[in-house]
Structure 1
Amino acid sequence: MEAKQRVMQAGIVQPEWSWRKEGPFDGRLHQWIKGMYDWQGENPDLVILGLPLSRSSISVSGASEYAEAFRRGWKGFSTYNIDEDIDLSFLTILDTGNVKMHGTDIGESHRRIEHAAHTIFSEFQHAVFAGIGGDHSVTACTVRGLKKLHPDETIGILQLDTHLDLRDPTENGPSNGTPMRQLIEGGIVQGSHIYTIGLHGYFNAPDLVAYGKKHGVNMISLKKARQNGIVQTVRAALNELSQKTDRTYITIDMDVLDIGFAPGVPASTPGGMSTQELFEALLEIGSHPSLKYIDFVCLDPTKDPAASPTVKAGIYSFLQVVSGMALVRSRKGE
């Protein structure tokens, strides 16, 4: 059975929005990124999977709409990164589509995400995975799918986030506030293998911090990361995870950004990262040898102002990771 058929049978459907590719390649994303419909079986360097779920959010969120907004915004971006003087178009990126969500059943939607992620991990074992959420509940699902494929291996998590996401699932359900605790209590990930960078201010309750300490979660405040250098802090966390675990999963909750930079993120707060700080961290992540799995979550385009600054920041964030990948491969002469 061909990969296309297996992907379709895993409950992954084509996006509602897709670009018609007419004429020669003009250096823009919408003509570069391949969809399943025009994929000819090349080995992709990175695969995209849309995870359009936000019914599981604690607060009202339209993050389920981001995967489509992400694709619609491609036309406004070039494959050339002038800051790094590199054209990304030599890489092959495949957009596999979206996981089909159940209309009302959150648990069923989570099971579908886990199954679809497991299928993508299985089919494209040599490609980097990029999940486009959706709220942060989807991360627990994709990590479970990864663990299912590699049951005897340890998984570490680097999380850029304002929040610990360690709320109690028995009270909050499998929501966007509980993914890290779900993974700890489900025996999928050890607390000491979670590094959360970006915590700041008044947005994490004492009992959650106490739970994190009890389970050895590495809680790195934004203040401390700035003092040590955000890029250096991210690099150190990835290096430690590479030594401690077999695989590293990276999750970017866009509420790590200051609310002034991310008005389209429901839980963004004052005092968070600037876009420049996040972009520099993501370039480091993209160039790190442990990069294999990453997701971007909790961006709600329905809350974005007319100029779509947050959606654009989300696309830019994704491209920073791809730029890191491209820089490494160009240096190796690949």
Structure 2
Amino acid sequence: MAGNTAGLSHDDLWPRAGDWPNADSINGDLDLVLVGLPTASTSLSPTRADATPDAVREALRKYSPFAHSADADLDVLTLADAGNVRDPDSDEDAATQRVADVATRSRLVVALGGDNAATVPAALGSWGSDVSTAGLITLDAHYDLRDGRSNGSPVRRLVEAGLDGRRVVQIGIQDFANSRAYAERARDLGITVITRDELLRRSLDEVMAQALEIAGSANGPIHVDLDVDVCDRAVAPACPASTPGGIAAHELRRVARVAARHPSVASLDLTEIDATADAADGRTVRLAALCVLEAAAGLALR
């Protein structure tokens, strides 16, 4: 998957991340596979989130695969790219199957959205037949429990597909970004909610340890949804629903690494970025690219 190298310096001693080989061209098992799920057509806000997977791939080229923790060096991993699923909004079953195909041969699938509708095929594909034992962790300003089918409904749809609400943990839920009705729905489903205010009083590692224990309580696979609108709008201007007061960029990066390090985490997604609406410096897309690398580093530490 060659990236756009125009304008980037070349140094034989400074390799660039990304440009990972096509997953279908590699025989045998893989460590981490990227797959693009460019969902956008059912979004509650106008978006070109379908442009984001390729933008994240290009942003990866701005970074190195080297992590200072020797054990997290990405050189020890077999990394691959499965490309983008064509029109996952219209054929969600095909998107789910594509994720399932790559999940059977990799330790971690990283799905690049797309809006939050991408979470449904990303999770179901990686869980396979294990929905009854699966767990879900979301980093999100919103509950995503809305009625209907949109980027506001993936958590509700996954519960309806068989996910036990008691193994769902939602981290970063914000005031003034949700309704009382959906807060009550989360409570009735048994979902564990850790609000943004609670995050200000607790360490992130402690919160993630709690979330991983709850989501993994049935010893099934865990999917982690990183909805980037959980971040402060200053660092995520390309997320239509990001708000001032969200979490910091370094916190989202930390979650990506901690989650991917856990042996029960089978998949992770990055969603709700409209690459065409980013700041001139590309800060939101760059953050997503760094989260991909953080996930790879976490996987190297398993």
Same fold (TM over 0.5): yes
Q: CA deviation at 1:210?
A: 0.7
Q: Give me the whole-angstrom Cα distance separating, in 1, the residues matched to 2:100 and 2:295.
A: 22
Q: C-alpha deviations, 1:124-153, integer Å up to 9, x for none? A: 1x4211111111111112333345x32574
Structure whose residues are more often helix by fraction: 1
Q: CA deviation at 1:245?
A: 4.3
CA contact (8 A) 1:49 1:99 kept: yes
CA contact (8 A) 1:197 1:219 kept: yes
Q: Give me the whole-angstrom Cα distance separating, in 2, the residues matched to 1:36 and 1:200.
A: 38
Q: CA deviation at 1:36?
A: 4.0
CA contact (8 A) 1:157 1:193 kept: yes
Partner of 2:196: 222
- Cα distance change of structure 1 residues 128 and 25 upon mapping to structure 2, 3 Å threshold: farther
SS at match of 2:29: coil
Q: Give me the whole-angstrom Cα distance separating, in 2, the residues matched to 1:213 and 1:65.
A: 35
Matches within 5 A, 1:207-286: 207-286=181-260
Q: Give me the whole-angstrom Cα distance separating, in 2, the residues matched to 1:43 and 1:23.
A: 31
Partner of 2:56: 70
Q: 1:57 aligns with which of 43, 51, 74?
A: 43
Q: CA deviation at 1:283?
A: 2.0
Q: 1:177 aligns with which of 149, 152, 167?
A: 152
SS at match of 1:267: coil
Q: Give me the whole-angstrom Cα distance separating, in 1, the residues matched to 2:164 and 2:45.
A: 27
Partner of 2:109: 129
- Cα distance change of structure 1 residues 307 and 193 upon mapping to structure 2, 3 Å threshold: same
Size of the aligned set, in residue pairs, is 297
Partner of 2:93: 111
| TM superposition score normalised by structure 1 | 0.83
Q: Identical aligned pairs, as a percentage?
A: 27
User: Residue type matched to 2:134 in 1?
Assistant: I
Q: CA deviation at 1:19?
A: 5.7
Q: Larger deviation: 317-326 or 197-206?
A: 317-326
Matches within 5 A, 1:117-196: 117-122=99-104, 124=105, 126-147=106-127, 149-151=128-130, 153-169=132-148, 174-186=149-161, 188-196=162-170
CA contact (8 A) 1:136 1:179 kept: yes
Q: 1:87 aligns with which of 70, 73, 81?
A: 73
Q: CA deviation at 1:248?
A: 0.9
Partner of 1:10: none
Q: 2:272 aligns with which of 272, 293, 298?
A: 298
CA contact (8 A) 1:70 1:315 kept: yes
Q: CA deviation at 1:121?
A: 2.5
Q: Determine which structure has more spread, i.e. the larger CA radius of gyration.
A: 1
Q: 2:289 aligns with which of 315, 328, 331?
A: 315
Partner of 1:34: 21
SS at match of 1:34: coil
CA contact (8 A) 2:169 2:214 kept: no
Say whether residues 1:100 and 2:86 are aligned partners: yes
User: Residue type matched to 1:194 in 2?
Assistant: V
Matches within 5 A, 1:322-333: 322-328=296-302
Q: Give me the whole-angstrom Cα distance separating, in 1, the residues matched to 2:33 and 2:238.
A: 25
Q: CA deviation at 1:277?
A: 1.5
CA contact (8 A) 2:122 2:269 kept: no
User: Residue type matched to 1:303 in 2?
Assistant: A
Q: Give me the whole-angstrom Cα distance separating, in 1, the residues matched to 2:103 and 2:296.
A: 18
SS at match of 2:201: helix
Q: Give me the whole-angstrom Cα distance separating, in 1, the residues matched to 2:13 and 2:271.
A: 30
| TM superposition score normalised by structure 2 | 0.91
Looking at both structures, which has the greater relative contact order when contacts are Cα pairs under 8 Å and sequence separation is at least 6?
2
CA contact (8 A) 2:130 2:220 kept: no
Residue segments in structure 2 that go unaligned for 5+ positions in a row: none
